[in-house]
Structure 1
Amino acid sequence: MEQYEPETLSAAQLAAMRRSLDSGRGALTRRSLLRASGMGALALGGLGTLSACGIPAAKREGDTAAASDDHSAQEKVINFSNWTEYMDTSEDEKHRPTLEAFTKRTGIKVKYTEDINDNVEFFGKIKPQLAAGQDTGRDLIVVTDWLAARLIRLGWVQQLDPAHLPHAFANLSQQFRMPDWDPGRAYSYPWTGISTVIAYNSKATGGKKVDSVTQLLDDPSLKGRVGFLTEMRDTMGMTLLDMGHDPATVTTAQYDAAIGRLQKGVDKKQIRRFTGNDYTSDLDKGDLAACLAWAGDIIQLQADNPDIKYAIPAAGYMTSTDNLLVPAKARHKTNAERLIDYYYEPPVAAQLAAYINYVTPVEGVKPELAKIDPALADNPLIVPDKAMAALSHSFRSLTTAEETSYEEKFAKLIGA
C-alpha cells in the first residue's frame, strides 16, 4: 500500500505538537507507565481479585446497579476527569475554549480535572467506590478500551440515553461503531482513536522504506535497530495481522504462534528492545531505524525531524480508543450526555483535534478542520480516509482467564 505523506505543518500546530510531546497525555502516549506498574492489565487486580475480596463480578445484562438519581436539572455542573494535555487550551493556557463555549451555551459548568495519568492507577482510585456502589464524584471519565470493557462488564457504568446524543449517534465514524465489548455504543463513545503503525527514520535506513512487520523481523539491514511496543494488544495485534490472522478473532494457538515468532526476533537480536513511548527519542536519533509507533507520536516527531516517516502495512494496522463513560452513581448523567454530544458536533470536534492531534472519531470533521489548518485535515493519522479506515483492526475482548494467560506470555517475551 502506498505510504501516506503528511503535508507541511503550520507554526501554531508545531507549537502545540512540541508542547504535547514534552508533557502530559502526548508524553504518556499509550501508557509507558503501564509496564512499570507491573504487567499492565494484570496489575488491575482483575475480576478474579474482586471475587476473592468478596465483590462479585456484576453482569451488564439486566443489571440495575449502575442506575442513579440524576440531579442534572437542579445542579448545572459536570465533574469531568481526563488525561493531561487531552483538551484544547488557549495559548496562555488559562482557558479551555471548547469547554467554556459549552458552558456559555448551556449554563452547565464543567469542573475539569486532569487526574488520569495511567489506566491502572486511575482504576485503583475509583475501584473501591464503584465496588461499594458509591458515587466516585465524577460524572464523566476517559479510559482506554480494554478498561472501558472491564467497567462495562462489571456493571460500573451507566447506559447512555440515545435521545440525549443525536450528534454522537449521527456522526460517530463507522469504524468505531461496533466494538465487541460495547456493540452499538450503548455505554461509551470514543474521545479519540489511537492508531499503531510502522515508523522509520529514513536516514537510519539509508532511504529504505519499512512497511511490514516481516521486514522489521527479517531484514538483516535492520538487525539490532528494531523496536516493538510494551502494549500487548498493539505488538501482538500487528504481528498477528502480518501472519494473516485477525486480532478480532484470535485463537490461543494463533497467539502462541505470534509469541514464538517474536521470540525468534529477540533470540537472534533483530529486536533491540520493547518500549513505551520512550521509543521516540531513539527513533529521532536513529538508534532505532524502525519500530511500531503510535500515530500521535509520529505527527509530533515529524514537526522537528523530516527523516521520520511512517507506513500503513498492507496487512493492516491496530486501532484502539480512549472512551467517554458515565460511572455508576454519577449525579449528573444527563449533563454528561449533553457534553458527550457536544463534542460530536463537527466544528467542536475539529477544534479539539487541531489541538491534540489524535484520530478524531467524528464524521464530517474534515471540512471544519480545514478551516483551522488544511494540513491537519489532509493528514490520515488524524482524519483517516476510506482506504486507511478499511485497514483498521481491533483486538477482541478477552475473558479474564485469557487476559491473564496472554499477558503472562507477553510479559515473559519482553522480559517484564
Structure 2
Amino acid sequence: MRVPSQPLRRRGLLTGAAALLAAGGTLAGCGTRAATQTETGCRSEDRSTAEQKLTFSNWPQYLDVDESDPAKRPTLDAFVARTGIQVTYTEDINDNNEFLGKVQQQLASCRSIDRDIIVLSDWMAARMIRLGWIQQLDPARIPNVTANLLPSLRDRSFDPQNRLAVPWQAGLAGLAYNGSVTREIRTVDELLTRPDLKGRVTALSEMRDTMGLLLQSNGHDPANFTPAQFDDALAKLKKAVDSGQIRRFTGNDYTPELARGDIAACVAWSGDVIQLSAENEKIRFVSPESGLLLYSDDTLVPNRATHKGHAETLINYYYEPAVAARLAAYVNYICPVRGAQAEMEKIDPELATNPLIFPGEDLLRKATVFMALDERQERAYESRFQQVIGA
C-alpha cells in the first residue's frame, strides 16, 4: 500500500476567501456577459477523430505510479496501449482558487485553456458549471459511469443529469481523535463543548465541511438549508471559538499536530486519517451521530477542449471496476466506482475492507453533499464564516 508522505489538500484552503472570491468571481459577480457562457454561444470543436491525443491536468499524487519507476503510471500507460491515444498528463492543479486564477480569463471569453480534462473539487466544479464553462458529456460514450457511479454521488444539485462532472475520487468530512491522548469522541457537540478537549481542538477552514457538520448537529440538512439555519450553526461555532474550545482553523496542516497528540480531536478529512492511522492505529476517524459531509473531486471537460471524445473514453475507462481498484489502491480516497471493491480484494484484501475507501451503505446514508451555492450565497456565507474563524 502506498501512502503519501504529505497528505494532499483537495478541498482548497480558503483563508482569505473573501478576497479570493472578489478576485476569482469578479466577472461572474458583476454578471457581465463576458463571464458567463452558453453551449450555443461558446461552441467547441472535437478533433478526436483526426487527432489521437489528449491533455489531462490533475492534482499531484492523484494517479497511480510504479514505485520502481516513477515515470510509469500503470493505469494510464495501459489506457494509452489499449486505445493508441497519446496522453499529455500534467500535475499542475495544487489549489482550486489558484487554478481558477490561471484559466478564468480564457474561459470567460470562450478561449481554450489547452486542456481536455481537468480535476477540480465539487464546489469549484459547481461554480464553473454555473458560469457555463464546462461541456456536457455524451451518456452513450460513458456507459461505465452510468452503470457504476455510486448512487450517493448521482444527481447532485449542480449536475442533476450527471452529464457535466464525473467524480474522480471522493472523501468524507467528519471527526477524528488521537486515542493516545483522549477518549473516544462521537458527536460534534462533544468536540465543541467537552471540557477535557478545551484548547486541544481544530476545525477546518473549508466552510462547507465545518459548517455542514454543524448544520447536521443542529438537525438541519447541509444539502438544503436556510440563511437562518446557517446563522444558528455559525452562532454555535462562534461560541466555541470565543470560549477557547477551538485552538485554530486549518487546512490539512492539522495532521502532524494530531499525529503528535498536540491536538486531541478535530474536524478531519477521511483520506488524511487513513494515512495517519497507518502509522498509529489509535488515530481514528469518526462518523458523527448527526452525519457526515461527502465531497468529490470531479473530472470536467472545459469549453473549447478539442478532444472531448477522447476525454469521454478516458473517463469511461477509469470507471471499469478493475481499473478503479488499481487507482484506489494507490491514492486511498473513496472509490466512486461500484464493483471496484471486489477487484480490490485481488490486489489488497486489507484495503478492500477499509470503510474509508469503500464505505458501506449505512455510512453513505449518513453522508450529505453540501448545497450548491450561487454567487451571492457564496459571498455571503463565506464572509460570515471568515469573520468567525478570524481569517
Amino acid at match of 2:59: W
Q: In the TM superposition, what is the alpha-carbon distance from 1:97 to its structure 2 partner?
A: 0.6
Q: Is the 8 A contact 1:67 1:158 kept in 2?
A: no
Instruction: Tell me which residue corresponds to 1:27.
Output: 8
Deviation at 1:393, TM superposition (A): 0.5
1:101 aligns with 2:82: no
1:15-414 alignment runs, 5 A limit: 16-17=2-3, 20-22=4-6, 26-32=7-13, 34-35=14-15, 38-39=17-18, 42-46=21-25, 48-50=26-28, 52=30, 54-58=32-36, 63-91=39-67, 92-205=69-182, 208-414=183-389
Hey, what's the Cα distance between the residues in 1 that align with 2:188 and 2:296? Answer: 22
Q: Give me the whole-angstrom Cα distance separating, in 2, the residues matched to 1:224 and 1:29.
A: 26
Q: Which amino acid aligns with 2:89?
A: Y
How many residues were matched structurally? 390
Shift of 1:58: 2.7
1:155 to 1:329, Cα distance in 2 relative to 1, 3 A:
same
Could you state the TM-score of these two structures normalised by the residue count of structure 2? Answer: 0.96
Say if 1:29 and 1:297, in contact at 8 Å, map to a contact too.
no
Superposed displacement of residue 38, structure 1:
3.9
CA distance in 2, matches of 1:77, 1:295: 35
Counterparts in 2 of 1:255 and 1:174: CA distance versus 1, 3 Å: same
- TM-score, scaled relative to structure 1: 0.91
Q: Distance in 2 between matches of 1:152 and 1:352?
A: 26
Structure 1: state its 5+ residue gaps. Answer: 1-12
Alignment of 1:3-14 (within 5 A): 13=1
Change (3 A) 1:52 1:30: closer
In the alignment, the residues of structure 1 paired with residue 349 and residue 258 of structure 2 have an alpha-carbon distance, to the nearest angstrom, of 27
Q: Using a 3 Å threshold, how does the CA distance of structure 1 residues 40 and 216 change in structure 2: closer, same or farther?
A: farther
392-401 or 64-73, which moves further after superposition? Answer: 64-73
> Would the alpha carbon gap of residues 29 and 332 (structure 1) be closer, same or farther in structure 2, given more than 3 Å must change?
closer
Paired residues of 1:202 and 1:209 also in contact (CA < 8 A):
yes
Aligned-pair distance for 1:402?
Answer: 1.1
TM-superposed deviation, 1:227: 1.0
Identity score, percent: 48
State the Cα deviation string for residues 75-104 of structure 1 (Å, max 9, x = none).
101100000000000012120111110011
User: Is the partner of 2:119 in helix, strand or coil?
Assistant: strand
CA distance in 2, matches of 1:332, 1:292: 40
- Counterpart amino acid of residue 42 in structure 1: L
CA distance in 1 between counterparts of 2:29 and 2:295 reads 28
Three-state SS of the structure 2 residue aligned to 1:199 is strand
